[in-house]
Structure 1
Amino acid sequence: MSHPMAIVAAALEYISAAEELSAQLGYPFLGVVPPSEVIDVPQVLSRGDQLRLCATGRKAAGPVLVDFVGGALAHRRRYGGGKAQPVAKAVGLRSGFYPKILDATAGLGRDAFVLAALGCEIHMLERNPVVFELLRDGLHRLRLAAMEDRELAVIAERMSLLGHCSSAADWLGQQPEESLPVVYLDPMFPPRGKVTKVKKEMVAFHHLVGADEDAAALLAPALTACYYRTVVKRPKLAPYLTEKKPSLSLEGKSGRFDIYTKHGVPG
């Protein structure tokens, strides 16, 4: 039987951890093999210092991982625009008001990290078990780095990954009414048009996650569970989720934020 995914170890010392991951996720373990030399499965999880999702074959794009310490997120933390960023405005963040946020579609945790860096407490949900492991690995490395960096330590304290659940809609539906200050939704949307270089690096991720066909089921329980607002991140030209018009929308560089308000934020 063919598998959509397999597990490999980046070096001999990671074999035990890779075997454990294989047993946990139910994907075969191929041993210490570079992803470029794997030909029988389209993607692998490579267990090394970092957990990496890799497309296979010699012409595959680069790996996908969660990196809260360096790279693009480190640059954005320092130079991203602070509270003036559209995502910050969308959740209602302002001086003296830093809402607790439930990110119900956490993905690779990028927006969650940005909001935590700006002062919000973030609880993340992720239903895909592979993406959940990528997130957990990224948070683990963030907390290791935080032991030597007080600024990262403060951010790490604000971020938590809730236990794996197969349905964010069901999880939201089980929460008491108006118990979550802000709910943030960023469902995967089918790609359109030309594929950019950045998107090519995400081929393995998009292949793994696909489009969130049940995205519409998230909005109603989110609106019931939130107190201040529910924020939905969408591509600029995408229709409203469930065709429900938001209270207002904010446009960013590559998309927009549809905001469904219930109670006014303090200010």
Structure 2
Amino acid sequence: MSTPTIFCAEPARADYALRLEQRFGLERLKRRPDAGYWLELGAERLQLITVGKHGAVFAEFVDGAARHRREQGGGRGQPVARAVGLKGGQTLPTIVDATAGLGRDAFVLASLGCRVTLVERSPVAAALLHDALERASMAPEVQAITARMQLVHANAITWLSELPADRQPDVVYLDPMFPDTGKSAAAKKDMQAFQTVIGDDLDSAALLQAALGAARARVVVKRPRLGDTIAGRAPSGQIVGKSTRFDLYSLKGMPRD
């Protein structure tokens, strides 16, 4: 895979662009390309740009859909909250989102009080997440939420496998990207572009195994409602919605083979 590139469209932010390059292994572009995809740093945010029909992709924790879910999302009654085991009066679980992507579900869980570690191996996705967290850290309305979100740029399989016992989370959350089989509705355009650049998680079976070895209480796998289970491994429970399903793997009494 070629080295991801970044173009700094705002000269005043050159130092920040350099920090992104160094942390995520990006290659600086001297001019804006006319083909392919690249990360572009503007005056307001970092975006993934793709030439063609797809629009810009960025992570966002302050405005737009993030604001709506924060204010109108339904609290602990949301399916993702139920899936990780959030209940009224219960001690909040620690969570590792091992396929963080654009951080949307991780933000919801953090907004409900959970401490969430976002693990993302793609340098493109990790850079977008970092930028969103940087911007959110300066927004008073979400500062307390994003303070509960920690970004780790690493291969989750290796990272989970090497996690010391005293740092193991209660829950490992997985939302792997699979090749389109035609069984689910087409993704929105921004996610189509994102998936094209990030690629599919073809090692999801190994990721599930690593998650089962690292979680204290359960592993949650988000899937399309009609999607296959990972490696055909039957969950101990499910939460099924209109378009999405959560497969639950309870570790109470489950052998870690």
TM value normalised by structure 1: 0.84
**Larger deviation: 99-108 or 201-210?**
201-210
Distance across 2 between alignment mates of 1:195 and 1:239 = 15
For residues 139-162 of structure 1, the C-alpha deviation after alignment (integer angstroms, 9 at most, x for no partner) is 11110113xx3xx12212211112
For 1:118, the aligned partner's letter is: L
1:62-141 equivalence runs, <5 A: 62-97=55-90, 98-141=92-135
What RMSD over aligned residues (CA atoms) do the two structures have, in Å?
2.3
For 1:115, the aligned partner's letter is: L
Counterpart of 1:168 in structure 2 is 156
For 1:55, the aligned partner's letter is: T
Q: State whether structure 2 residue 34 is matched by structure 1 residue 46.
A: no
Contact 2:4-2:123 at 8 Å conserved across structures: no
CA pair 30-204 structure 1, distance change in 2 beyond 3 A: farther
Distance across 1 between alignment mates of 2:175 and 2:2 = 28
Counterpart of 1:25 in structure 2 is 25
Question: What SS class does the counterpart of residue 253 from structure 1 fall into?
Answer: coil
Distance across 2 between alignment mates of 1:10 and 1:195 = 35
For residues 13-42 of structure 1, the C-alpha deviation after alignment (integer angstroms, 9 at most, x for no partner) is 2345445545663434133x4xxxx32x31
Give the paired residue count. 248
Contact 1:4-1:43 at 8 Å conserved across structures: no
- Offset, 1:96: 1.8
Q: Which runs of 5+ in 2 are unaligned?
A: none
CA pair 16-224 structure 1, distance change in 2 beyond 3 A: closer
Counterpart of 1:201 in structure 2 is 190
Q: Which runs of 5+ in 1 are unaligned?
A: none
- Offset, 1:71: 0.6
Counterpart of 2:143 in structure 1 is 153
Q: Structure 1 vs Structure 2: percent identity of aligned residues?
A: 44
- Offset, 1:82: 1.2
Counterpart of 1:256 in structure 2 is 245
Deviating beyond 6 angstroms after TM superposition, the runs of 4 or more aligned structure 1 residues are none
Distance across 1 between alignment mates of 2:236 and 2:134 = 37
